[in-house]
Chains A and B, each alone.
Chain A
């Protein structure tokens, strides 16, 4: 009896050194842009249509009618209730995120107008600690709900988040029911939540308000999942479908209403605002 073994291993799952590209280089087609070029094209690759992550301030400046945005709850900041430190203290990470992004937190909220329609904006930014949701992000979203409710206007959430912020432990997890509770009150008043899911929206955000919009649209190619592909792959050790967790798969399986390229979103949202106007 000869022992013939057939190699049935699927391709090696393991750390493959990621190719580091300049942030302004399109990961899909390698086109390179100056900062002002990216800004002018709404951070969409003019060559292949790849959607770069759009900074929250730039998105608000584009979405809101000129001069209409009034920021709220900017005084709400993260604390460090667990005195958390992993490889570095949480406070140091917070300070660094603030220095690098110029943002006070991973979400900006405020009132605005879009083609004349009043609405409340809640825009997340992945650049600030991966857009993670801790107590401050939860609180700011809740205040956005309250403000929209008081003004009787729709709420627009632009999500971009890796999920709950681990450095605040269980308190981060509690931001899920917290934001859902605020949204429940908002919904009860007959007001709509529109969500624009951008790359990436995963974990805690997907398991809370990002999944509870009355109309849910996504940007092309965005990763929208509860468990991201790396974790799933590390567990099942098989090759994943190419579009695993992407907007396109989510649309196919009925999880979102539409995929809307960024340059068309403003008109799309304006149409929704007209339809839901009271």
Chain B
């Protein structure tokens, strides 16, 4: 395993050093950076496995899903079904319940536990109808001034013919636009896999949290490996390169906080995990309900507009 990226870097470095300086801008800096990268490659091999362990925990078969938390965290849960247009998407659940005495609208991706349920829930990968259901529930929340809590856990939006025909991209875009516009407070927490646009559609919130062992990424490690390395088996290396773990997301300013999990992962003690999650969500909501409703939208816009690093 060691050697491959290192060899590549060494080769590149030596080529760069021999380059006739036609376009000389930045070559020296480039050289320094490559050297730095080379140094870090030898140093960070341990963290490749470390980062991969987050990926494995986030996808653990016994990890609590949205409805497991609903059951433990909320009182008086009423699930809402259907987008009022075409379908009821099993990969997204929506409903009303009480969290710490406060009525909230809860949205969440839902994976299945056994094969039958997995198929019904499409492995947690929503169709456009799922996002339409979410938007409908958000409209309800606004009408009655209920805060919106969302739990994120999906490999990504469903990649299929019908999903495309029904406008997958547009559905994800409109769900985000609705979240940006909400006149009520919103909190999201990534509780497993935060896979790309399919996850983001429910995560444009005033506060975005991640559980300790959750991941949040622009693409699945396998997809990234397939595209950039042209080899799906390089998933581990891809994950290490784009760093989908909570700590790096926090460092990059993408999330606002990390929710602790029971030792060894949420699946070891779902009750404790639910208590910790419920506490974090309630705390964020307490903080947000103190903000005048008229200021929420502007603050949310400013928060997301500031994201990104450029020169």
Binding site for B on A (CB under 8 A): 76-79, 81-89, 91-92, 95, 99, 134-136, 138-139, 142, 164, 166-178, 180-185, 202-212, 224-227, 231-232, 235-236, 240-241, 244-245, 249, 253-255
Partner of B12, one of A88, A95, A99, A245: A88
B282 at the binding interface (Cβ < 8 Å): no
Partner of A212, one of B164, B173, B219, B243: B173
| A152 CA to B293 CA, complexed, in Å | 27
Q: 1/0 contact trace for B1-32 toward A, CB 8 Å?
A: 00001001100100000000001001000100
- 27 pairs from A and B in contact (CB 8 Å cutoff): A82-B243, A83-B33, A83-B36, A87-B8, A89-B12, A135-B307, A167-B228, A170-B217, A170-B243, A170-B254, A171-B307, A174-B254, A176-B200, A177-B180, A177-B307, A180-B180, A182-B305, A183-B177, A210-B173, A211-B174, A225-B168, A225-B169, A226-B159, A226-B172, A226-B197, A227-B163, A253-B165
Give 16 A-B pairs besides A164-B218, A168-B308, A169-B217 with Cβ atoms closer than 8 angstroms: A85-B241, A86-B228, A89-B37, A135-B307, A168-B218, A171-B307, A173-B196, A173-B200, A178-B305, A181-B302, A184-B181, A206-B168, A207-B157, A212-B173, A225-B169, A253-B167
Point out the residues of chain B lying under 8 angstroms from A185, CB to CB.
301
Point out the residues of chain A lying under 8 angstroms from B302, CB to CB.
181
| B12 with A166: CB separation less than 8 A | no
Interface on chain B toward A: helix, strand, loop, or mixed SS? helix
| A87 with B200: CB separation less than 8 A | no
Point out the residues of chain A lying under 8 angstroms from B290, CB to CB.
none
With CB as the reference atom, state the residue of chain A lying closest to B216.
A170
| A92 CA to B26 CA, complexed, in Å | 11
| A95 with B311: CB separation less than 8 A | no
| A204 with B241: CB separation less than 8 A | no
| B228 with A206: CB separation less than 8 A | no
With CB as the reference atom, state the residue of chain B lying closest to A240.
B161
| A255 with B167: CB separation less than 8 A | yes
Point out the residues of chain B lying under 8 angstroms from A77, CB to CB.
310-311
Q: How many A-B residue pairs have CB under 8 A?
A: 216
Binding site for A on B (CB under 8 A): 5, 8-9, 12, 23, 26, 30, 33-34, 36-37, 40, 157, 159-161, 163-170, 172-174, 176-177, 179-181, 196-197, 200-201, 204, 216-219, 223-224, 227-229, 238, 241-244, 248-249, 252, 254, 297, 300-302, 304-305, 307-311
Point out the residues of chain A lying under 8 angstroms from B34, CB to CB.
89
| A206 CA to B217 CA, complexed, in Å | 18
| A83 with B40: CB separation less than 8 A | yes
| A136 with B311: CB separation less than 8 A | yes
Known A169-B218, A209-B173; contact A135-B160, beta-carbon cutoff 8 A: no
> Chain A's nearest CB lies how many Å from the CB of B170?
4
Point out the residues of chain B lying under 8 angstroms from A206, CB to CB.
168-170, 173
